[in-house]
Amino acid sequence: MSTMPTNIQVPADASRLPMTLPRLIEMKRHREPIVMVTAYDHPSARAAEQAGVDLVLVGDSGAMTVLGYDSTVPVELDELLVLAKAVRRGLRTPFLVGDLPFGSYEVSDEQAVQTAMRFVKEAGCDAVKLEGGGSTSVARARAIVAAGIPVMGHVGLTPQTSTALGGYKAQGRSAAAANRIAREALALQEAGCFSIVFEAIPSAVAEELMPHLHVPVIGIGAGPSVDGQVLVFHDLLGIREGLGARFVKRYANLLDEMVAGVAAYAHDVRDRTYPGPEHGYSIDEAELQDFRATLAEHDPGVAHPV
């Protein structure tokens, strides 16, 4: 017969336990704001971990923020998997979500499931996210959920299909458009999505929809009534040029600091003030003399300092 251990240690701050889907539902139930950020590499993941966020998204926005593409459309699945693997190695407690890139899930349910499985098996993601709430996206979400992988939905402004939506602009600003968003969100919920992102929709529309959704809703430009907020890492820290979207609040201006730091380094190198004596390593004088003698034997024509 076994006995229950008596030395179980429970952290005083339960929020430092790994985030789970039941915990997210509890947060919604108790109206605890959910914090989500994007991350694309090990350093950004460590920052998210140490800041105590709840969810981390390896967003396809990494196509623009770290890979240099003009939009999210060109990024390949293998590229996002490399980013996701790096993020996974930097996280312990946040729930990790991988963004399915354009063209990696639309063709068939089988393609969608295979892509989602790669995010889970190869990158260690806890869940995946896909864009849109039309019939195709809903069917793919349902298939991935049926395969045992949690899915986060995404309605409103969906960057992968922004051309069809008229560009990067707010959605749901007419009754017809708001009704479309409502239908899509409810369809994704019915398909089994554990959470839904509302992007760039009127705050009042989001507020009206909240009583109809029992899964956590994460907003980005959707006002304060949703269950949580997400911002792109490079937007909130100011690591990219330009002002960004209306909904972005910058909490730092790190790009300015980065440019200033590199410029100062370049100045010191050109001015020969870096490296200084304090940045070098020493060698015992006797060892140095032996080294000089050896060099002289191999190349007697070269004069060496005494």
pLDDT tens-digit profile of 245-298? 788 899 999 999 999 999 999 999 999 999 999 999 999 999 999 999 999 988
Return the bridge partners of 219, or none. 198, 229
Please say if the pLDDT value at position 167 is more than 60: no
25, 221 in Cβ contact below 8 A? Answer: no
DSSP, collapsed to helix, strand or coil, labels residue 131 as coil
Average pLDDT over residues 189-208: 97
Please state the rounded mean pLDDT for residues 25-48.
97
Is the pLDDT reported for residue 68 higher than 60? Answer: yes
Q: Tell me how far CA of residue 27 lies from CA of 11, 154, 188, in angstroms.
A: 18, 20, 20
Let me know if 12 is exposed, middle or buried by CB neighbors in 10 A (0-12, 13-18, 19+): exposed
Determine the average pLDDT of the residues in 200-223: 97
DSSP symbols for 236-276? HTT-SSS---TT---S--HHHHHHHHHHHHHHHHHTT-SS-
What is the CB neighbour count within 10 angstroms for residue 4? 5
Can you give the pTM of this predicted structure?
A: 0.88
CATH architecture of 15-258: Alpha-Beta Barrel (3.20)
Bridge partners for 195 per DSSP: 152
pLDDT recorded at residue 279:
95
Domain ranges of the chain: 15-258
* pLDDT value at 304 more than 60: no
Distances (CA, A) of 288 to 280, 283, 285, 296: 15, 6, 5, 12
Q: What pLDDT is attached to residue 177?
A: 95
| The pLDDT of residue 10 is above 80 | no
301 pLDDT tier (thresholds 50, 70, 90) = low
The pLDDT, as a whole number, for residue 6 is 45
* DSSP β-ladder status, 228-231 and 55-58: unpaired
293 and 305 in contact (C-beta within 8 Å)? no
The whole-number average pLDDT for the span 17-41 is 97
- Asked if residue 100 has pLDDT above 60, the reply is yes
The DSSP-derived string for 30-88 is TTPPEEEEE--SHHHHHHHHHHT-SEEEE-TTHHHHTS--SSSTT--HHHHHHHHHHHH
User: What residues are paired with 95 via a beta bridge?
Assistant: 55
Q: What is the predicted pLDDT for the residue at 162?
A: 52
Given this model, what pLDDT does residue 299 score?
74
Hey, what are 8's tokens?
């179980």
Which pLDDT value is given to residue 8? 42
- Residue bearing the bigger pLDDT, 35 or 17: 35
Query: What is the rounded CA–CA span in Å between residue 107 and residue 114?
Result: 12
For the stretch 153-163, what's the b/e string if a residue is b when 16 or more beta carbons lie within 10 angstroms of its beta carbon? bbbbbbbbbbe
What is the predicted pLDDT for the residue at 246? 81
Structure tokens at 95: 């729930």
**3-class SS of residue 177:** helix
Whole-number Å distance between alpha carbons of 82 and 125: 12
How high is the mean pLDDT of the chain? 91
Answer yes or no: is pLDDT of 306 > 60: no
Per-residue pLDDT band at 108 (split at 50, 70, 90): very high
Query: So which residues are the catalytic ones?
Result: 199
> Lowest-confidence range among 66-75, 161-170, 193-202, 247-256?
161-170
Q: Give the pLDDT band of residue 153 (cuts 50, 70, 90).
A: very high
Share of the chain above pLDDT 90, in %: 83
